[in-house]
Amino acid sequence: MNHAAVVLATAIAGAGVGATPLLAQQSMGERLPVREVVLENGMTVLVLPREGAPTVSFVVRFGVGGVHEHLGTTGIAHLLEHMLFKGTNSIGTRDVAAERRLFVQMDATHDTLLLARAAADASRVSALEARIEMLEDSARAFVLPNELDRILTEAGARGMNATTSSEATTYFVELPANRAELWFALESDRMSRPVFREFYTERNVVIEERRMRVETEPGGLLYEAHLASAFTMHPYGVPVVGYMSDLQTLSRRDVEAYYRRFYGPDNAVVAVVGDVDPDQVEGWARQYFADIPRGEAPPPVLAVEPPQRGERRVTVEWDAEPRLRIGWHVPSGLDDDAAAIAMLGSVLTGGRTSRLHRRLVMDEQLVTGVYASTGPGTLFPQLFQIDAIPRSGRSIELVEAAIYEEIERLVATGPEERELEQVRNQVEAGNVRRMTSNLGLAFQIADSQSLLGDWRETFRWSELLDSVAAEDVRRIAARYLVESNRTVAVLRRPGS
């Protein structure tokens, strides 16, 4: 999630909270007593002690995501996210040596299976799939399922999970403060000695996830088709979950080799926020993580999306309620114009008084919802996106025309100062809320450190938003929200 999404989402969520002046909140964030520790292997550890509940939040962000993959390996980062919950040489197993002997057999069978598929030998494919399933069942006799989860849950953990995006894979959990050292022991073991057990079973889980979220879900289909049409060269156009054909061919060796190469400590930022002693946390970090060897930097993203020279349109037919997505190419979330782009999105859809919400949802009742966002990542030129869900009986064409009319009005006159002030007030209120959650703060400082090299930048973003003028918003809309730069994706019922 980019800075615009973090700040404006927390702003709207916290709009009912009493706020202190924006710059006071800004400086308070920058003055947080964060200790930054950089180990010799390159791992960065950020420690923020906070009084209050005796809990601590942990976030580990690896700077590896969907953009670092290539055709043939799409979805590998997301698959790895799943596999790293499967345990280690010592966690989740009764006999790791016996497991590994079976891994050799099933991986060799998988190699043969790929050849049989290429030869379209259906009977051979069926037999080999059955053999892999049988070998996985045999290996499962040595598995202690979900042992990592069990250990953490018995220690009082909450919210253990992970997420994969275009540019990162992030793991997180909350623990009682008196069990903090346990996290270091478990995480260092997972980082240095993971075992990708139940691999083909878990790969099938990911395949089913893709099927449910994309191939049988109209919103997912529309999203994937839209990005693929908007990005013809850049990997932002490739789904983070991966293509089905790639998921079906990834092997355990592929995934393990990818992990060993790119998920080293030099590509990790750890944020520890809560009731902790910074000296003790630094000691644990050095004790448990310092001996883990460096990895490689993730492969650079060299593809550059060429300028769009005309409107693109794509239609997805599905027996579901119509939907509309419009995207315009805009600079990256690190660009000087990023704050003005974020402000533009909030002026259009950020709350009940925003332009598109007021017209499309409340006044003319054309849609049930309308939303603006930027994505799918932050580091590279991205899309400014508007999603709309027409009300039953309302045509997509009518909704689309109304959106363009509001954009033209904005370009002609710019936003009113009261509109910008409303957004600033939302951000002020949200700044109070964003300081109350240990886990939220851990995410913010880890993301900011990983993306920008400085945890303080997440708080400086508020100041950038505050400096956006009406002319900045008008200029951005006039420059980027033009017909030749837009890609439109429509979900329609067949024959409609």
Digit-coded pLDDT (tens) for 370-394: 999 999 999 999 999 999 999 998 9
pTM listed for this prediction:
0.91
Please give the Cα distance from 125 to 31 (Å, whole number). Answer: 61
C-alpha pair distances (Å), 383 with each of 101, 230, 328, 376:
48, 8, 5, 7
Chain position carrying tokens 């006071």: 24
Mean pLDDT computed over every residue of the chain: 92
Task: Give me the helices (H) in 162-266, please.
Answer: 180-192, 199-210, 218-230, 244-247, 252-262
Structure confidence at residue 425 (pLDDT): 85
What are 370's two structure tokens? 């309308």
10 Å Cβ neighbour count for 329?
Answer: 18
Cis-peptide into 306, omega within 30 deg = no
C-alpha pair distances (Å), 382 with each of 96, 132, 369:
44, 41, 23
Domain covering 3-29+303-492 in this structure, CATH number: 3.30.830.10
Structure confidence at residue 27 (pLDDT): 53
Please give the Cα distance from 330 to 334 (Å, whole number). Answer: 11
Please give the Cα distance from 408 to 232 (Å, whole number). Answer: 27
DSSP 8-state class, residue 93: B
Residues of the chain where predicted confidence (pLDDT) is lower than 70: 1-28
